[in-house]
Structures are given as C-alpha cells and as structure tokens.
Amino acid sequence: MPSIEDNQRVWSNHRFAAHGEGWSRVWGGSPYEWWGTVYPRIREFLPAGTLLEIAIGHGRWTRYLVQLSDRLIGVDLVDKCVEHCRERFAEYPHASFHQNDGMSLAFVPDSSVDFAFSFDSLVHVDKQVIGAYLRQLAQKLKPDAAGFMHHSNLGAYVDPATGKLGFRNTNWRDLTMSASLFEDLCTEAGLCCVGQELGNWGTPHLTDCLSLVTPPGSPFARPNVVVENPGFMAEANALGTIARHYGAAAFPGLERERPAAVEPSALGRRGPVSP
C-alpha cells in the first residue's frame, strides 16, 4: 500500500507535464473530464462559499473550483505543487495554498468549510490517511456542508486469508481502503456517508469509489445510497469521442486549446478560467 513517504517521493519527482493533463487523456482532456464527469456529480454543492481542495497537484481541478467559490483553500503534501499553484492562481486573491504532512488540516478554521473536494488523488492513500482527513472534516465542515472524496475500493477485492489480490494493481490503488470501510470511518468520525459510486478505472473491477459525506442533520443527510457503475470508463471513452470530433485537437488551425467556460453564475465574478 502506498505510504505518505511513498506519495511524497513519487509526486515530488513527477513532472506534471501540462499540469497533469495526461491523466485526462481518455476523456479528451481535463475540460471534458470536468464538465462531463466531475461537475455533474458535484453541481448541487456549487458554487460554494469556502471550498477546501485536498491534494491539489498542479491545479487540474483548481482552475474550475477557484471560479466557483468565494474562498478556496488548497492543500498538498508536495511543496512544489503548492508553489506551482500559488504562481498559477496568483491573480485570485481569494485562493490560498498550503503544504501539509499528508494528513493535517490544522490551518483550516473549524466550522468554516462549505464544500470539501478531492478527486483523482486520495486513491493512493491508506485507511489511516482517509480516517485522519475524515476526523478533521468533522470539525472543519459547516453544519450544512458536504464533501466529495475519490478513494480506493481495492480493499474490497483483497483475499482476507492471504491479504493479496487476484489481479494486478495497475493504477497504484491502496489495498487497505474500500467503500464499506470508508462508511465505517465516517461513522467513527461523526460524519454521515450519504452516497457512494463504485466505478472501474481502466480495469474490469470496481477499484474506485466516489463518496459523499456530510454532518448529521445537514440538508444532505440521508441513509447511504451505494451504486455500482461498471460503465464509468465507457462514459470517459464517450467523452473522448466527443472531444476528438468537437475539441480543439480537431481543429489544426487553432493555436492552442481554448480555456473552458464556467457556469454563467460565476462569470463576471471570477473572470475566465486560467489556461
């Protein structure tokens, strides 16, 4: 299982070419992944007052979230990622970026966060890290807030007798995390897990989970609803087909990819999305 030290080493040495766009290649680029996959799953929580993004990388999702928040707090384990985002989003005075130890949110005021977000990053961390973040989110979220966290479900496939998988872990997912464990960790932290989507990520197995959390008694509180989506990557491939036909790459005369538009409600408030 990837440790904090493993993550520190790997991402400190990663090039993050084109701000990490390679990870969105199947979708045809991050604009298509954002508007086609990520945004439809979180649109009910946006725009947000104070938005916390955990594991920002080079700002692949920050470029959209900064448009849809009055205050954005970004955090990452890797110092070069934090410095890069400080430079990339310097024109946004409502955004601040912090380096942590891979687990701490001590710099976030209690009861201050309207929406917490992490996508395509915490799949590489173990149950101790997820549990630590959930315990802190129980303190940092406002009573009517929510969180959206993308984490590993690979633990659901581990043979309890041997502790091993019956297939190759091709995407460096953590072996200790699963959807059911995430729900248990939420309960232990004093949060409610209210929705989970289990999806495949380039494999036939549902190795990934998108979980929604909220404080008890919030407008989003409900019994947990778990859905299996073995067509998650089919969605990605369909968006990739659209991107190849309609996207910037389909028009050789364009000098560069055009920045994606934001919600009309955010236009004029935050300006255009940074390229």
- List of domains in the chain: 4-15+23-250 (3.40.50.150)
Identify the three-state secondary structure at position 107.
Answer: coil
Q: Are 100 and 7 in contact (CB under 8 A)?
A: no
Give Cβ neighbours of residue 87 (< 8 Å, ≥ 6 apart).
none
10-47 pLDDT per residue, tens? 646 566 666 568 778 999 999 999 999 999 999 999 99
pLDDT recorded at residue 268: 39
* H-state helical runs in the chain: 4-12, 30-33, 39-42, 62-65, 79-88, 127-140, 179-189, 232-246
Cα 92 from Cα 66, distance rounded (Å): 8
pLDDT recorded at residue 271: 43
Cα 50 from Cα 113, distance rounded (Å): 5
- Distances 246 to 68, 86, 151, 230, 260 between C-alpha atoms, Å: 25, 32, 31, 26, 13
Count the neighbouring beta carbons within 10 Å of the beta carbon of residue 224.
18
Nearest alpha-carbon partner for 104 in 139, 71, 58: 139
Averaged over successive runs of 10 residues, the pLDDT of the chain (275 residues) comes to 63 60 87 96 97 96 96 95 95 96 91 97 92 97 98 93 82 88 98 97 92 98 98 96 90 65 46 42
102-114 pLDDT per residue, tens? 789 999 999 999 9
pLDDT recorded at residue 51: 98
pLDDT recorded at residue 18: 61
R_g of the chain, CA atoms, integer Å? 18
- % helix / strand / coil in the chain, to the nearest 5? 35, 20, 40
Give Cβ neighbours of residue 129 (< 8 Å, ≥ 6 apart).
4, 102, 103, 122
